[in-house]
Structure 1
Amino acid sequence: MLQAAVISVLGFYLCCFFFDLFVLTDVTVLSAVLRFGVMVPMSGGLLFYLNGEHPVEHKEGAAILVALLAQVSWSIIVTASHNPAVLGYYYAACTFQMAITIAAASPFRPSLHASVFGFCLTYSVIWFLEGATPLYAVQHLSVYLPTVAMTLLVSYQLEAEAMANYLQQQENEVLKRELSRQNKDLARLSVTDPLTRLSNRRGTEMELLRLTTEAQNEAERVVLLVADVDNFKAYNDAYGHGAGDECLKRVARAMRRALPIEAHFARHGGEEFVAILSASDAEMAASVAESLRRAVRQLGIGHDHTGDRNRHVTVSIGAACGAVRSAADYERLLEAADRALYAAKGDGRNSWRVFEGDEVARVVA
């Protein structure tokens, strides 16, 4: 904006040479020297300065300074003329006021300071004009003062609008960031189980999507584990739902810590959990299943209503291995893990089994 304003004002300033040429014929040489020999190089230096890495307020100040120097040069031209037409021509002083406050789009405070300087210069020079009288000065003032007032008012309004637009833009950016944060929170909550803070079924679906689209090499060897808290209904009935919720949270934390950090672990529903380990095999399935079983047993959560000799909260785990290239593959793997889980439950609970092919193998811990 500053560069465009400088070029526009410079073009207008140089075009005024033709007025000097036809109106003030006795100072055309001086006009040419000051306009083309002084102001053009100074304007070129200003444009070079505007292209540099300088604070915007410094650039604005430099632009106003060059405009005031142009007014000084013009004042020299008109005072040097002895042509009576200079009195009518001097009303063009208003154009410098408009150039400073409107064309350059300067901030209000620098514009005010420049206007004060321009006013003092204008009414100091006016007494050196050929044929100037006090009446002429009053007439000139009646035109100049309204111009100053109106241009300063416009400058103030432009700055106020610019500030309002800036603040609105900043507010919009804040709202966008807040909306983005809320969207991320909603997205996270949509895949998070509110009780255990683990992934929920939707989170598991997203993990499957990742495996089948982005990590197909990892999906060729997947271990799926299904863990179920033993006799949890009896625990809930005996100790209350509050205690049951706390039990699930402790069990979930213990199993999460026992799993590899890259494993996907989710609450599948109720007291059932699923873990997905990509790029793994049956040996890893057995090792991880035993880690989960031991982690829960070591919590030592008392449970006097198991119906057997075991008096603590435990889990039974079923595992299955295979490729997951599609949702159908996952469902088949989940069904196999469920069969292994039921086998572990039927074998007295607090145990695990791994389904391989058509067999269910059990390692006793």
Structure 2
Amino acid sequence: MTADEYLAFLEDRAPVRSRMLRAAVICVLGFYLACFLFDLWLLGDVTLLSAILRFGVMLPIAIGLLFYINGRHPIERKEVAAILVALLANISWCVILVSSSSPGVLTYYYAAASFQMAVTIAAASPFRPALRATLFTFCLNYSAIWFLEGSTPAYVIQHLAVYMPTVIMTLFASYQLEVEAMTSHVKVQENEALKRELSRQNKDLARLSVTDPLTRLANRRGTEMELARLRTESPQMAQRVVLLVADVDHFKAFNDAYGHGAGDDCLKRVARAMRRSLPIEAHLARHGGEEFLAILADADADMAPALAESLRRAVRQLGIAHGFTGDRNKHVTISVGAACGAVEAEGDFDRLLDIADRALYAAKADGRNAWRVSLENEAERVVA
């Protein structure tokens, strides 16, 4: 895990660490105060000192720590504060035991391992701060042990035999907990990355399913989705639609003469030219082969001639040479048929498309490179 990933891991676990820290402080505080009963039982000569340090000093500090943990502070500072309070509690406890002349003090001092567990595990901090706190606690406890009533080198060695396994096991547990948390974090991040990648791929697939791979325009399915969107999201706009059907003139002859590669390039250039000539809100699609379809919603019927002429002129101005048209046009051109009406119901589009197709055939019959708009029973056309 890189440094940035580790910081992200710590930040991600901050809420959990804060909750665990608060619970640990409450539990350890309760245990620490309950140990006053042991002080009464084993250390009768320092009862007053114990009460002052436990209830007069440590209890207010621990309450202040809880308020601090509940505040809006970085979790790292909360954990450091908790460790410092635990170390202060350890110091207070050592003062109590060192001040006692009771013979039970040596037995009681084995409880030093509980402070070890508190600073290593209960604080729920990352392993490195826990390791530093462990070393400090170890040094503190084994500095104070020599001042206990009746302490001998043999007792210190015996104490170490009990204390060291606690140190090793708690450090190992702290390290293991952090490793498991980091592993879980990495897996969650990997799963999230996979979900994002899957979502992106699904979006790409959805986009590809409605996109013609050659011209990058919408395909027939894309047109169906656009019609469905109009009907559901903009029913009023679906009441007034201009539908244009454009067909590349003599395209088969162009393909046969110049090759399919040139034919594909021709269709791509024609598609780009038509897209630029239409309003940005217009829907343009490849309807199949060399036929294209455009839909402009919320459009008046008198806009159809201008739109049709705009398409025709845009393609003619490309100047793509076509010497096999068999007529006077020696460049790639299109013929356009247009119809106006509503697409509110399922059958409306097919009816409108049939009207536009008839207008397209009329334009081709008139010599191509032309357009015809069907306006009820009227017909308008222009040939360049």
Q: TM-score range by the shorter chain?
A: over 0.9
Instruction: Please tell me whether residue 271 in structure 1 is matched to residue 287 in structure 2.
Output: no
Instruction: Please tell me whether residue 229 in structure 1 is matched to residue 248 in structure 2.
Output: yes
1:153 aligns with: 172
Q: How does 1:319-334 map to 2 (within 5 A)?
A: 319-334=338-353
Q: Secondary structure at the match of 2:308?
A: helix
Amino acid at match of 2:49: L
| Structure 1: distance between partners of 2:31 and 2:38 | 11
2:369–2:383: 8 Å Cα contact kept in structure 1? Answer: no
Q: What is the TM-score normalised by the length of structure 1?
A: 0.97
Q: Secondary structure at the match of 1:196?
A: coil
Amino acid at match of 1:58: R
- The counterpart of 1:78, out of the listed 76, 84, 97, is 97
- The counterpart of 1:299, out of the listed 318, 329, 335, is 318
- The counterpart of 1:257, out of the listed 267, 273, 276, is 276
Instruction: Please tell me whether residue 25 in structure 1 is matched to residue 44 in structure 2.
Output: yes
Instruction: Please tell me whether residue 238 in structure 1 is matched to residue 257 in structure 2.
Output: yes
| Structure 1: distance between partners of 2:107 and 2:57 | 25
1:254–1:296: 8 Å Cα contact kept in structure 2? Answer: yes
Q: Secondary structure at the match of 1:360?
A: strand
1:202 aligns with: 221
| Structure 2: distance between partners of 1:18 and 1:350 | 104
1:282–1:354: 8 Å Cα contact kept in structure 2? Answer: no
1:170 aligns with: 189
> Could you say if the C-alpha distance between residues 289 and 362 of structure 1 is closer, same or farther in structure 2, counting changes exceeding 3 Å?
same
Q: Secondary structure at the match of 1:312?
A: coil
- The counterpart of 1:50, out of the listed 58, 62, 69, is 69
| Structure 2: distance between partners of 1:12 and 1:209 | 68
CA displacement at 1:363 relative to structure 2 = 4.2
Q: Secondary structure at the match of 2:245?
A: strand
CA displacement at 1:362 relative to structure 2 = 2.4
Q: Secondary structure at the match of 1:110?
A: helix
2:162 aligns with: 143
2:267 aligns with: 248
The superposition leaves residues 102-122 of structure 1 with CA deviations (integer Å, 9 ceiling, x where unpaired) of: 222222111111111111111
Unpaired runs of 5+ residues, structure 2, are 1-19
CA displacement at 1:289 relative to structure 2 = 0.4
Q: Secondary structure at the match of 1:132?
A: coil
| Structure 2: distance between partners of 1:336 and 1:40 | 89
Amino acid at match of 2:294: A
2:28–2:118: 8 Å Cα contact kept in structure 1? Answer: yes
Q: How does 1:99-114 map to 2 (within 5 A)?
A: 99-114=118-133
Instruction: Please tell me whether residue 129 in structure 1 is matched to residue 111 in structure 2.
Output: no
Q: What is the TM-score normalised by the length of structure 2?
A: 0.92
1:265–1:274: 8 Å Cα contact kept in structure 2? Answer: yes
CA displacement at 1:270 relative to structure 2 = 0.2
CA RMSD of aligned residues (A): 1.3
Amino acid at match of 1:202: R
| Structure 2: distance between partners of 1:318 and 1:18 | 99
1:228–1:317: 8 Å Cα contact kept in structure 2? Answer: yes
| Structure 1: distance between partners of 2:44 and 2:330 | 115
| Structure 1: distance between partners of 2:56 and 2:288 | 86
Q: Secondary structure at the match of 1:124?
A: helix
The superposition leaves residues 76-95 of structure 1 with CA deviations (integer Å, 9 ceiling, x where unpaired) of: 11111121111111110000
| Structure 1: distance between partners of 2:298 and 2:307 | 14
2:11 aligns with: none
| Structure 1: distance between partners of 2:304 and 2:358 | 15
2:308 aligns with: 289
- The counterpart of 1:118, out of the listed 127, 137, 148, is 137
Percentage identity across aligned positions?
A: 73
| Structure 1: distance between partners of 2:329 and 2:143 | 107
The superposition leaves residues 308-327 of structure 1 with CA deviations (integer Å, 9 ceiling, x where unpaired) of: 11111110001111111122
**Bigger CA drift: 150-159 or 9-18?**
9-18
| Structure 2: distance between partners of 1:358 and 1:18 | 105
Q: Secondary structure at the match of 2:136?
A: helix
CA displacement at 1:47 relative to structure 2 = 2.0
CA displacement at 1:364 relative to structure 2 = 4.8
1:87–1:132: 8 Å Cα contact kept in structure 2? Answer: yes
| Structure 2: distance between partners of 1:7 and 1:257 | 70
Amino acid at match of 2:81: A
| Structure 1: distance between partners of 2:192 and 2:267 | 41
